[in-house]
Amino acid sequence: MHLLIKLLGTGMGLGAGIVASKLVDFLWEKITGEASPKGTEGLENTVRSALAFALISGAIRTTIQVFTNRTMQKAIERFEKTRDLT
Please write the tens of the pLDDT for every residue from 54-79.
898 889 888 888 888 888 888 878 88
Q: Which pLDDT score, from 0 to 100, does residue 76 have?
A: 79
pTM for the full predicted model: 0.68
Rounded Cα distance, 54 and 43, in Å? 14
Nearest by Cα to 50 from 60, 62, 39: 39
Which three-class secondary structure state does DSSP give residue 6? helix
